[in-house]
Amino acid sequence: MKKNFNIRRKQAGILSAAALVALLSFGNSQAAEDAATIKRVQDGIAKLIPGEKPDSITESMVPGLYEVMIGPRLFYVSGDGKYLFNGKLFEIATREDLSTPKISLAKADAITKAGEGNMVIFGPEDSKHTITVFTDIDCGYCRKLHSEITQYNDLGIRVRYMMYPRAGVGSASYTKAVSVWCADDQKAAMTLSKSGKPIDEKLCDNPIVDHMKLGELLGVTGTPAVFLSDGELLPGYVPAAKMSAYLNGRTNQ
């Protein structure tokens, strides 16, 4: 009996070893297939959007469809690299938007990477809320928003400004944005300029063009464009009290 037991034990050991080899072989094969799929997706993106390198490529909720993030832009590409879908993906049963939350987080990350050293900021760091506003000195609703800047701050809302002169580089609005940035007191110059009063025209190294490029990348089409801390975009002027109620409502959800 003992001999038979030993034989069975050896056979079991052989089977276990064989199963392990098979498992490792399957794992290696799967890893190779995954790598090949990612390569096909990368090649497909490269053909359609030359010079763009994906920040991430992950499987989506749809079999055979991959999510490709390039900065704050989200694309869906088939696993064979032949088809690209540029739009939102919804789960029909729940009607859940699966795309927007990911895009918003990517936008928030892009704004964070711009750095607060490249923004004109009103309000203390320990404010309850922080919003980032792409603004145009000559935009009427931008001026209306800034006329309430003290109310925003008093309601616990910190406002970070980035410049977005809609008339483009070289315009009067662009010159004013540069002058505000280069002023000895940026916040005072911003307030004066937005109230329609002249400020000294100045030149210096500035991030205004970078602000404009970032705004375009984030989908800014008008000003003021307000981004919340999670990347949600609120286009247009929002009164301070209404903004506070909205932000506090989100916090309490």
Give catalytic residue positions: 136, 139, 142, 166
Question: How far apart are alpha carbons 160 and 108 in whole angstroms?
Answer: 13
How many residues does the structure list for the chain?
A: 253
33: tokens are 């297939």
**Which bin fits 62, alpha (ψ -120 to 50), beta or left (φ > 0)?**
beta
Q: CB under 8 Å to 180, separation ≥6 — which residues?
A: 120, 137, 163, 186, 189, 190, 193, 199
Q: 15, exposed or middle or buried, with CB in 10 Å at 0-12, 13-18, 19+?
A: exposed
What is the 3-state composition of the chain as percent helix, strand, coil, each rounded to the nearest 5?
45, 20, 35
Instruction: Kindly tell me the sign of the dihedral angle through the C-alpha atoms of 85, 65, 54, 69.
Output: positive
Convert 112-164 into a string of H (helix), E (strand) and C (coil).
Answer: HHHCHHHCEEECCCCCCEEEEEEECCCCHHHHHHHCCHHHHHHCCEEEEEEEC
Question: How far apart are alpha carbons 175 and 172 in whole angstroms?
Answer: 5
